[in-house]
Chains A and B, each alone.
Chain A
Amino acid sequence: MTIYLLLLGAPLVAGLIALLIDRDEIRPWFLPAACAIHSYAVVACWVRLPEPAVSGWFRIDAIALLVLTLASALFLVCSVYCLEYLRLRRGRDNRLFTACLAFILSAVSLVCVSRHMGLLWVGMEAATLAAAPLVHFNHNEKSIEATWKYLMMGSLGIGLALLGTFFLALAVLPYTGPGDPLMIDVLLARAGMLSVPWLKGAFIFLLVGYGTKMGLAPMHSWKPDTYGEAPGVAGAILAGVITSCAFLGVLRAFQICAAAGLADFARGLLVLMGLLSMAVAAAFIIGQRDFKRMLAYSSVEHMGILALGVGLGPAGSFAALLHLLNNGLTKGVLFLTAGNIHRAFGGKTMDHAHGALRRVPISATLFLLGFVAITGSPPFAPFISEFSILRSAVDGGRFGVAFGFVGLLAVIFIGMATTVLSVVYGTPNDQPQGPVQGDFPFMLMAPLALMSAVVFFGVWLPEGLTAVLGEAARLLNGVRP
């Protein structure tokens, strides 16, 4: 119980304190403190998984542990980044920004630990709403437009996910027994008796609903606008943490379908959505002049890869779960350094930002390395997961899927390379403007730490991690608890 209290309570309390404090300089310090407590609790979970609590409503299994770890790590790093970022943005009131960041951590922890599809929904909706002020932080016309689109698409998506959750309840009715019919453990235990048409409907609505939050094509239209206008650190949280939590929602729906013997139906849909997302991302990445929007499309691509991986069966699921971690960490590097480059040039298109290596050498190097990593080049971690997904497609005899996967990866590599190389190399067009110049230590430490993790997992996968990944893949593909 203590663990759950720390996971949910520490960030919640920090957020409330941040709301009450009046001084802009002190407020951000509560973030790293709360994130450190949160990370401590996550480490405790790795040592020994906590017992279920609140009559089985809270429990952490292997799948949840992976998402929770990613969220905690990214938040810890981003909170350190924020200390310096918010100091630079001193003119702007950071009360809501700081508090909402903390609330997001609390809400995503709720999504991870909850064993009830309704509670999971509540957490996801809370995280979505808490992220709106982050998108709006710059308070200009473009950020308002982005916030509006984010809210409208997000609300529609989350509404459809709620409908899918109701469908799940209808699939299990009439229910008499211990617990609540929407508890994941109840649904898994009675998987064989669920009504098939309702379950299929539930999966479709949950996939579309949580898929909107992930940014799977064709429900991705809000994503480039939102990530493009949000500050870099908000982009890292949105692309690394919130999308992963939405994917957890899809995984829970898949887990129930697999246990009910509908794995093939669900896998077909996931493969379709996955390839479609990659194709859409490829189409828009080519010729993309705005490097933050480019990262948003890259996020659409990688959400597609996650869906595709799970759709390819147990081996693919293992790789997809590994890719969940790798993508989150690498996206953190990319968005944080993109924020640094954006600030150094006062613009986020190739016309403004050119020759970043001369102006912000370390950020630019990390941005370049992040690009090499995310496109799946060895020796970085995403190479291993993307290669494993490819291998699971080939081993399964899905040569068409494998061919499409490799082809789209190649197209995206070329498209991203054009933009990234132009931003990084060359000579800056203009003289540095404004007070913000050069690299800052805290804002480098954060992406540097994430990049080290990406290299580390690329070279060596610890045995403890593979064990948890294997367990998670087993749980996903129809092993009853």
Chain B
Amino acid sequence: MHELSQLLLTLIVFLSLYLLGSSSLTGCVNILALQGMCLGILPLAIHERGFHSRTFVLAAGMFVLKGFVIPRVLLYAIREVKIRREINPLVGYTSSLLLGALLIGVSFIIAERLPVPAGLRTGLLIPVSLATMMMGMLMMISRIKALTQVIGYLVFENGIYLFGLSIAYEIPWLIELGVLLDVFVAVFVMGIVINHIARAFDSISTEKLTSLSD
């Protein structure tokens, strides 16, 4: 099982990196869905103390929500606003990729130095989660389209979920379900707002959202 979890984690990091370099919005959503599915399987792969029913519930919930439901909401938003590509991001694709690679390196260095309590065998989990969080934040601040900002937020959220997996035994599953539900509602609300942005401005570029400032 250990090899499977390593494989999944590596895949998750590469998918985040791929997202940083991709300009097609539908492509981004599909990659995000794939990453969500990996996240869904991961709890089953890293289990060492045998299976609990709650692990299955959580894995299934994650798999369905992040692999199917949220991508559907985003694809629906894309269809509604008829926009296919991210144009002119604030940070270019090549620079984003380079920055992403740098962030991965930094996360491994940070993770090395974190005083993880003995008995928690986390392996790649913490460096991958840090890298995913930072790449998500990079997407949130460097992209212009409202939709890509939401994708960035979801990648960031995936990173936090990964971090949470390292202590999954210690957190009651009710809380995890609450977190999942909140993420879902957040995306739902963002989808609605994107729709309103598209209708009011004829575009989903947040560049146009600049009338409020001091």
A373 to chain B, nearest CB (A): 25
- Stretch binding the partner chain, chosen from A137-145, A334-342, A418-426: A137-145
The B189-214 residues at the A interface (CB cut-off 8 A) are 189-190, 193, 196-197, 200-201, 206, 209-214
- CB < 8 Å neighbour of A169 from B146, B167, B210: B167
Question: Which residues in B have their C-beta under 8 angstroms from that of A159?
Answer: 153, 156-157, 160
- Stretch binding the partner chain, chosen from A148-156, A243-251, A398-406, A435-443: A148-156
Nearest A residue (CB) for B167: A169
What's the Cα separation between A229 and B175 when bound, in Å? 33
B164 on the A face (CB < 8 A) = yes
Q: How does the 8 Å CB contact mask read for B115-135 relative to A, with 1 for contact and 0 for none?
A: 111111000000000000100
What's the Cα separation between A288 and B117 when bound, in Å? 51
- CB < 8 Å neighbour of A182 from B146, B163, B171: B171
A225 contacts B167, C-beta separation under 8 Å = no
A8 on the B face (CB < 8 A) = no
A148 contacts B189, C-beta separation under 8 Å = no
Question: Which residues in B have their C-beta under 8 angstroms from that of A155?
Answer: 153, 186
Nearest B residue (CB) for A118: B175
Known: A129-B186, A136-B193, A144-B196. A149 touches B160 (CB 8 A): no
Known: A129-B182, A173-B120. A152 touches B153 (CB 8 A): yes
A166 contacts B164, C-beta separation under 8 Å = yes
Known: A156-B140, A175-B170, A181-B170. A149 touches B214 (CB 8 A): no
Chain A interface, number of residues (Cβ within 8 angstroms): 46
B212 contacts A174, C-beta separation under 8 Å = no
A162 on the B face (CB < 8 A) = yes
Question: Which residues in B have their C-beta under 8 angstroms from that of A122?
Answer: 175, 178-179, 182
B200 contacts A125, C-beta separation under 8 Å = no
The B34-72 residues at the A interface (CB cut-off 8 A) are none
What's the Cα separation between A229 and B213 when bound, in Å? 12
- List the count of A-B residue pairs having beta carbons below 8 Å apart: 118
The A153-208 residues at the B interface (CB cut-off 8 A) are 155-156, 159, 162-163, 166, 169-170, 173-175, 180-182, 195, 197-198
Question: Which residues in A have their C-beta under 8 angstroms from that of B157?
Answer: 159
Known: A148-B206, A151-B193, A156-B140. A142 touches B212 (CB 8 A): yes
A33 on the B face (CB < 8 A) = no
A314 on the B face (CB < 8 A) = no
Nearest B residue (CB) for A135: B193
B137 on the A face (CB < 8 A) = yes
Q: How does the 8 Å CB contact mask read for B70-109 relative to A, with 1 for contact and 0 for none?
A: 0000000000000000000000000000000000000000
Nearest B residue (CB) for A145: B209
B137 contacts A156, C-beta separation under 8 Å = yes
Max count, chain A CB within 10 A of own CB: residue among B172, B212, B213: B212
Report, nearest first, the 7 A-B pairs whose CB atoms are least far apart. Answer: A118-B175, A122-B178, A145-B209, A225-B212, A125-B182, A173-B117, A169-B167
In the complex, 24 of the A-B residue pairs with CB atoms within 8 angstroms, ordered by the A residue number, are A116-B175, A118-B178, A121-B175, A121-B179, A122-B182, A125-B182, A129-B182, A132-B189, A136-B193, A136-B196, A141-B200, A144-B201, A146-B212, A149-B212, A162-B179, A166-B160, A173-B170, A174-B117, A174-B119, A180-B170, A180-B172, A181-B170, A195-B117, A228-B212
Contacts beyond the supplied A122-B178, A162-B179: 17 A-B pairs with Cβ under 8 Å: A125-B186, A129-B186, A129-B189, A140-B200, A141-B200, A144-B209, A145-B209, A148-B197, A152-B153, A156-B137, A159-B156, A162-B160, A163-B133, A166-B160, A166-B167, A169-B167, A182-B170
